[in-house]
A and B are shown apart, each in its own frame.
Chain A
Amino acid sequence: MTSRKEHSLKRRDLAVNKLTSLGDRIIEDVAKQTVPAIRVPSRGTSNIVYDEDRRYYVLGDRYGQRSLGNVKQIKKIGQMVYMANFCKGLVQTGKTATLREMYYVSEGWDIDFGDQQESNIVGEDLEVTLGITREDLGLMPEEDGASVYGDITLKDDDVEINAMRMGKSGYTISPTIDEVELLDHNVERVIAVETMGMFHRMVQENAYKKFNTLIVGLKGQAARATRRFLKRVNEELGLPVYICNDGDPWGFHIAMVIISGSAKLAHVNHELATPNAKFLGVTASDIVNYDLPTDPLKDIDVLRLKELYKDPRYRDEFWKVEIKKMLKIGKKAEQQSFSKYGLEYVVDTYIPEKLDSL
C-alpha cells in the first residue's frame, strides 16, 4: 500500500494535469482555427439520476456549453480559466484557499465575479468539467468537520494524532482530510451520532470501550470532510459505519446523505457517499417499541416525510415501512429521549440491542 503522502502527491499531479489540459484544449482549438468551447456536465435536477448499482446519485450525460463565441458564455469560460490558473498555483505549492478567499483574489482579475455565489458556481463548473473534487483543486470549505473520539491514529503532515488523546471533545476532522494518512487503529466499528449532546453522552458512558468503536459527532448535516472521513474509514480500514440520529425526517436524511450522497453534489458523490453505512435509529418502530417521549409531527415534517417516501434513495422496504409508520403514528422523537430510562440506558440497552438486530 502506497503511503498517504505518495497518494496525495499522485492526486496533486492528477489535478495539475487536468487543469493544464483545460488550457491545452483552448489553445489547440485556437491553433486549429475553431472557436474554443468547453463542455460542462449539466447540474440541473433533470440531469441528476440515481445509480442503482452504485447506490448513490450521479450526473447524467447532458452537457452545457461554455463557448468563446457566445456573448453570454464567454465571461463564464474566462472565469473558469482564471480560476483554473489560480487552483493550479494552489495545488503546485500545496496550499489551500477557501471559496471566500478565492472570491477576494478574483477582484484582481481582468474578468471578475459579480458576487461570491457566482464564483461558487464557476467552482462547481470546474469540478464537474475536470471530474475532480474541489478539495483536489485546493479549494476548502470554511467549516470544520465532525468530532471523532476513539482509538485511531492519524498523520497530518508530520504530526501523529491519536483521537483518544485529544481531550473529551476528540479530534476535529480537518477540511484537508484527504491529505491526512490513516496510520493505525484499534477499533471494530464506527458509530456516528447527530448531536454533540449524544457524542458526549457516549464518551462519558465509555461507549468506545464497550463497543470498541469510534464515536463521531456529526453536528447536524455532515460536512464534506466528515463524509470523506467516513468513506475512507469504511473503505480503507474496512470498518462498518453505523449512524444514530433523531427519529424524524431530518435525522433520516442526515443518515441518507452519508449513505447515498446528495443530489446537489452528484458530480462528486463517488468521493463522498458511503453506501455500506447503516442506519441504526431512531426509527418509528423504536418510538413504539421503546415507548419514547414524543412530539407530534409538524406540517413541514409530514411534507418532508412524503418527499422522502418518493425519493429513490428510500426505496428499500425498511425505509418504506418506517416512513409509513411514522406518518401513521404522527410522532417523532429525539435521540436524547432515551434519558427517560436513565442517562446510561442508550449505551447499556438501546445500542447493544440495535447492533445485535442488524
Chain B
Amino acid sequence: MEREASELFEEFKELTASEFFRRNKQMLGFSGKIRSLTMVFHELITNSFDAAEEAGIQPEISIDLKRVDKDHYILKHKDNGPGIPENYITKVYCTMFAGSKFRNIQSRGQQGLGCSGCVLLSQMTTGKPARVISGYKKGDVIKGVEMTFKMDVKTNKGLILNKKKVDVDSTGVAIELQFKDVSYSLSEQGAFEYIRRSMIANPHAKVTFRDPTGQLFIFHRATEIIPPLPKEVLPHPKGVTADDLIFMAKHTDKRRFRSLLTSSLSRMSTKRVNEIEEITKIDLNKRPKDMKWEEAEQIVELFAQMDFMAPPTSGLIPIGKEQIEKGIREILDPEFVATTTRKPRTYRGGVSFIIEAGIAYGGNSGRVIGDQKRSEIMRFANRVPLSFDQGSCALTEALKSIDWKRYGIRDIENTPITVFVNIVSTNVPYLSTGKQSVAPEDEILHEVRQATMKIARSLQKYLNAKRAAKEEEMRSKIFETYVPVILKEAAILSGRDVPEYDYILAKVTRRPKILEEIDNETLQELTNDNMVGDKDDE
C-alpha cells in the first residue's frame, strides 16, 4: 500500500544532542567497560583542573571509587575549584555543547560534551540521578547548594529532583555518580594509570584516590607553580577554510571585508591585504556580508601560495622541562631523568605546536609485565594522557623509528625506561573523534624524534658513566682480592715474610683513599648534571 509523503513525515523527528549521544555513546569515548570508566575520570579530572587554573587556584582533587557489584560502581569526585553558581549547575552537567571552550585556544577539554557525557552515561546504565554539592563565592560570602537531578534527553536540559542550601567550608564542586557496565582496571588503559600519568603532566596538582579495595593513594604536588592561562590567538591564514571566512563574515561587526581580514587573522597586514586585492581583483572594501563563497575560496587558495610569518606562539603554554622533571621524579622516582621542551614549530604551514619529551630510567620507570620490566611510552596532548590507540599515533611512530642502539640501549623493549611525550597546540591534529591518537604530520614526527634523541644522548652519557664506574669498582675489587693472596703465596714460595704492600695495592688500584671520595663526588655531579637535558641547541 502506498503512503503519502505527509504521512511518512509524521515520523520525522528532531534529535537533541543528548538524544543523539544517548544512541551513539561510543562517540563520547564510552566504548568498552575499561575505556568508559577511564573516560569518566578523564572528563571529571580535566574539568576540575581547568576550573581551578582559570580561578588561579592550585588544583586539588579527591576521588573515591566504591564497588557495589560486578561492573557497578559509585564514584565521588570532589575538587577545590571556584565552584558552579546554582543557576549553572544543570547547564554544566545536563546540556550538551555548552561551555567556554569554543575558541581558538589551547585547552585540555573536548567539545563541551565532557561532564554532561558522564551524567548521561550514569543515567543510561543505572537510571540513578546525579548528586552535586557546589560551593561558590558570591561577593565575600561562600554559598553552598546541594542538588539531585536527571538529564532530560528529549530537551537537552536538566530535571531538578531535589535542591537545598547547605553549609560549605570552601569553594569547589563534589559530584556523585553511579555507573554500571564499567570496569576498574590497573592496565595501561585503566583509570588508575590515567591518574598516574595525569600527575606527571600536571605536577602542580594534588590528587587523593581511594580505589575499590579501599586503598588510599596520595599523589603529592611536585611544584607550587600554577601554569599560566593560555591566551586565545587569532587563526593563521594558512589554517582557515573558505567556510571559516564566510562564518567570520557573517558574525563580524566590521564594515569592510578588508578590516575583517586584518582583525580576525594573525599575521595579516594591510600590505598583504593589498596584495590579495591586486591578485584576485576582488573588491575588499565591500561589506563582509556581501562576500561570495567563490571569492572566499579564491582567497583561501591564495593564502596557501603566499608567505606569512609563522603563527604567534604566545598562545602555547608548555609544561616546561623543569616541571616535567618534577612530575616524573614525584611519580616514577627514577634513577635518571632528562627532559626537554622544544621551540614552537608549525605544521601544515599555519598551526603552531610545541613538543616536550622526557626520559626516565630505573626506579619505577617502565611497566612491570610478569616478572620483567618493559619500556613504556606515555603520550600526552595539552597535558592530557592519551590512553588509547597507541599503535596508530604519530608520537608512537616517531619514538619507534629511533635507533635506540645508537644511544647504548641494546634492547629498548626490555629496558626499564619511560618515555614521555607531550604535544602542545591550539589545534592538535587528532586522527579520529576519540581524540586518542595524533596524525602523522611530518613536522610533528620530526620534532618528536629530535626532542627524544636529544635527551636519549643525556641518558647514554649517564649509562656510560654508570657502566664505567661499575667496571672501575670491579677492577678495584679484583686487585683488592688477588694482591694479598698472591703476595702471601709468593712469600711462601720464596721462604720470606710478606712485605708491606699497601703502597703497591694503592698503585695498582689507582685509588688512594682521598681519590676514592673525589671519584664518588664527580660521579654524583655527572648524575645531577644530566637530570635535566642541556639547553636547546638548535
B493 in contact with A84 (CB, 8 Å): yes
Report the Cα distance A162→B494, complex, angstroms: 42
Given contacts A35-B507, A68-B483, A68-B504, contact A27 B499 (CB under 8 A): yes
B504 in contact with A71 (CB, 8 Å): no
Residues of A301-330 whose CB lies within 8 A of B: none
Residues of B within 8 A of A74 (CB): 478-479, 482-483, 486, 508
Interface flag for A153 (CB, 8 Å)? no
A78 in contact with B486 (CB, 8 Å): yes
Partner of B486, one of A20, A33, A68, A71: A68
Report the Cα distance A20→B507, complex, angstroms: 26
Given contacts A23-B493, A27-B496, contact A69 B508 (CB under 8 A): yes
A81 in contact with B490 (CB, 8 Å): yes
Residues of A within 8 A of B490 (CB): 22-23, 26-27, 36, 81
Number of chain B residues whose Cβ lies closer than 8 Å to a Cβ of chain A: 24
Given contacts A74-B478, A110-B485, contact A23 B491 (CB under 8 A): yes
Looking at chain A's contact residues, the main secondary structure is: helix
A20 in contact with B493 (CB, 8 Å): yes
Residues of A within 8 A of B306 (CB): none
Nearest-neighbour CB distance to chain A for B59, whole angstroms, equals: 56
Residues of A164-201 whose CB lies within 8 A of B: none
B486 in contact with A22 (CB, 8 Å): no
| A interface footprint on B248-276 (CB within 8 Å = 1, 0 otherwise) | 00000000000000000000000000000
Residues of B488-513 whose CB lies within 8 A of A: 489-496, 498-501, 503-504, 507-508
Residues of A1-60 whose CB lies within 8 A of B: 19-24, 26-27, 30-31, 33, 35-36
Interface flag for B487 (CB, 8 Å)? yes
A33 in contact with B503 (CB, 8 Å): yes
Closest to B492 in A: A85
Interface flag for B292 (CB, 8 Å)? no
Nearest-neighbour CB distance to chain A for B529, whole angstroms, equals: 28
Residues of A within 8 A of B501 (CB): 30
Interface flag for B348 (CB, 8 Å)? no
Report the Cα distance A82→B504, complex, angstroms: 20
B504 in contact with A35 (CB, 8 Å): yes
Residues of A within 8 A of B500 (CB): 30
Number of chain A residues whose Cβ lies closer than 8 Å to a Cβ of chain B: 27
Residues of A within 8 A of B491 (CB): 23, 27
Interface flag for A155 (CB, 8 Å)? no
Residues of A within 8 A of B493 (CB): 19-20, 22-23, 81, 84-85, 88
B508 in contact with A35 (CB, 8 Å): yes
Interface flag for B475 (CB, 8 Å)? yes
Residues of A within 8 A of B496 (CB): 23-24, 27
Residues of A within 8 A of B486 (CB): 26, 68, 74, 77-78, 81, 111
How many contacts between A and B, using CB within 8 angstroms?
A: 80
Closest to A79 in B: B486
Report the Cα distance A22→B491, complex, angstroms: 10
Residues of B within 8 A of A134 (CB): none
- In this complex, the member of A21, A27, A36 whose beta carbon has the largest number of chain B beta carbons within 10 angstroms is A27
Closest to B481 in A: A110
Partner of A26, one of B475, B485, B494: B494
Residues of B within 8 A of A110 (CB): 485, 489
Report the Cα distance A35→B495, complex, angstroms: 20
Nearest-neighbour CB distance to chain B for A234, whole angstroms, equals: 36
Given contacts A30-B487, A78-B485, A111-B485, contact A71 B479 (CB under 8 A): yes
| A interface footprint on B506-537 (CB within 8 Å = 1, 0 otherwise) | 01100000000000000000000000000000
Interface flag for A75 (CB, 8 Å)? yes
Report the Cα distance A75→B477, complex, angstroms: 13
Nearest-neighbour CB distance to chain A for B166, whole angstroms, equals: 75
Residues of A within 8 A of B504 (CB): 30, 33, 35-36, 68
Nearest-neighbour CB distance to chain A for B312, whole angstroms, equals: 60
Nearest-neighbour CB distance to chain B for A278, whole angstroms, equals: 44
| A interface footprint on B395-407 (CB within 8 Å = 1, 0 otherwise) | 0000000000000
B508 in contact with A26 (CB, 8 Å): no
- In this complex, the member of B479, B482, B486, B490 whose beta carbon has the largest number of chain A beta carbons within 10 angstroms is B490
Residues of A254-288 whose CB lies within 8 A of B: none
Report the Cα distance A82→B478, complex, angstroms: 17
Residues of B within 8 A of A23 (CB): 489-496
A111 in contact with B482 (CB, 8 Å): yes
Report the Cα distance A82→B492, complex, angstroms: 10
Report the Cα distance A19→B491, complex, angstroms: 12
Closest to A34 in B: B504
B507 in contact with A71 (CB, 8 Å): no
| B interface footprint on A68-104 (CB within 8 Å = 1, 0 otherwise) | 1101001101100110110010000000000000000
Report the Cα distance A84→B492, complex, angstroms: 10
- In this complex, the member of A75, A78, A85, A88 whose beta carbon has the largest number of chain B beta carbons within 10 angstroms is A78
- In this complex, the member of A19, A21, A30, A74 whose beta carbon has the largest number of chain B beta carbons within 10 angstroms is A30
**Would you mind naming 22 contact pairs between A and B with Cβ atoms under 8 Å apart?**
A21-B494, A22-B490, A22-B494, A23-B496, A26-B486, A30-B499, A30-B500, A33-B503, A33-B504, A33-B507, A35-B508, A36-B490, A36-B504, A69-B507, A71-B478, A74-B478, A74-B482, A74-B483, A85-B492, A110-B485, A110-B489, A111-B485
Q: A26-B486, A30-B487, A31-B499 are in contact. List 13 more A-B contacts (CB 8 A).
A: A19-B493, A27-B490, A27-B491, A30-B500, A68-B508, A71-B478, A74-B479, A77-B486, A81-B493, A84-B493, A85-B489, A85-B493, A110-B489
A-B CB proximity, top 7 nearest: A23-B493, A23-B494, A26-B490, A69-B508, A110-B485, A24-B494, A78-B486
